[in-house]
Amino acid sequence: MKPMALSFLLFLMVLVLVAMSLSFGAVSLSLNEIISGFSPSSEFYFTIHEYRLPRTLLAVLVGGMMALSGALVQGVIRNPLASPDILGVSHGAGLAAVVLMTLFPHVSVYWLPWAALCGGLCAALLLWLLCGSHSSAIKLAITGIAMATLYSSVVDFLMLTRPLEINNALLWLTGSLWGRGWDQVAMILPWLSLVPVAFWLAKRMNLVQLGDDVATSLGVSIPVTRLFVLAISVGMTAACVSICGPIGFLGLVAPHLARRLVGGRHQILLPCAIVVGMTLLLLADLVARTIDPPIELPAGLMTAILGAPYFLWLLLRTK
């Protein structure tokens, strides 16, 4: 299928999922009721405008950004097993956010993304110090996972010693869109400015794919590109994690699916990965919310149930 037709199809799928996400939940609404829900006079105004619309928007934004950062990392390290959560970046960011929330409860929540960014950067730096730039795919992944285990055991410890509200705890351990609203949408909006930068780097990333020597002889500075792309990716991951917690496997699965659909050219791959990520997270959140209302599962559980087998399959194919 041509990339144009395919992206149109994917876009349509996102629209359908957005509509479904607005319509299903503890109360199911018809399409007319959804449209009327946007005006303040309607009885569904609260459900739609205050509850489901920001949540759906967040699923779209976070899904897209997580998938994009996964695609960037995979492109620039040339490692099929890499993704922000496998490399421990999302858990590092989550740990920093949890530390801020539990140890300094009086600090404004608007500092959360910045704390998460620091945590994510530290985690990335630490991994780079441990592994250097010439580690095998498996060694890099396993070191990242070991680091992630450490971060999540510290998060566990903080959660268990200072009981927060339990839904909050699950959010920080598995990732969820529970209880997120317009405030969080406002928090994530500034970080969208990183997306055009990522697109601008797409051409260079194509050259990086050719190998270090070829890319250098074609005029691309490998270290600068790598640093730049990784920094953008860590920034986007940190922004997402500070809002939704570490949603597992999304940054791993979405870029792979996109690559199977449209191939490895980054000008097409990056947008496609974004749309696939949106689709996956919308779907995960929808299923997690509607499987047994009013009880909610964290969306991170759904992505893990989907993503872990995919990771195993990738592992089998990695030489």
Partner 1 sequence: MLRFKHLSYLRQCVVLLLVLLLFAWLSLFTWSIVPVSASQALMAIMAPDDAIIAHHIVLDIRLPRVLIAGLVGACLAVAGAIMQSLTRNPLASPSVLGVNAGAALGMAAVSTVTPWLGFFGISTAAILGGAIAWGIVMLLGTAWRGGNEHGRLVLAGVAVSALCAALMKAMIILHEDQASAVLTWLAGSVAGASWHQWQHFWPIASLSLLGAFLMSPTLNLLNLGDDNARSLGAKLGWTRVICSLLVLVLVGSALSIAGAIAFIGLLVPHMSKALVGQDNRKILPLTAIMGAALVVMADTLSRAIIYPTETPVGAIIALIGAPFFIYMVRTRTA
Candidate residues 1, 4, 5, 312; the one interacting with partner 1 per rule CB under 8 A: 312
Residue 129 sits in the site that holds partner 1 (CB under 8 A): no
Stretch that binds partner 1, among 34-42, 43-51, 54-62, 169-177 (CB under 8 A): 169-177
Candidate residues 125, 210, 227, 315; the one interacting with partner 1 per rule CB under 8 A: 315
Residue 149 sits in the site that holds partner 1 (CB under 8 A): yes
Nearer to partner 1, 123 or 205 (CB): 123
B/e letters for 236-262, b = 16+ CB within 10 Å, e = fewer, are: bbbbbbbbbbbbbbbbbbbbbbbbebb
Candidate residues 39, 153, 217, 221; the one interacting with partner 1 per rule CB under 8 A: 153
Query: Do the beta carbons of residue 76 and residue 264 sit within 8 Å?
Result: no
B/e letters for 263-286, b = 16+ CB within 10 Å, e = fewer, are: eebbebbbbbbbbbbbbbbbbbbb
Range 41-100, binding partner 1 (CB under 8 A): 81
Site string for partner 1, 231-270 (x = CB under 8 A): -----------------xx---------------------
Nearer to partner 1, 168 or 209 (CB): 168
Residue 4 sits in the site that holds partner 1 (CB under 8 A): no
Residues contributing to the site for partner 1 (CB under 8 A): 81, 130, 136, 138-139, 141-143, 145-147, 149-150, 153-154, 156-157, 159-161, 163, 166-167, 169-170, 173-174, 248-249, 291-292, 295, 297-298, 300-302, 304-305, 307-309, 311-312, 315-316
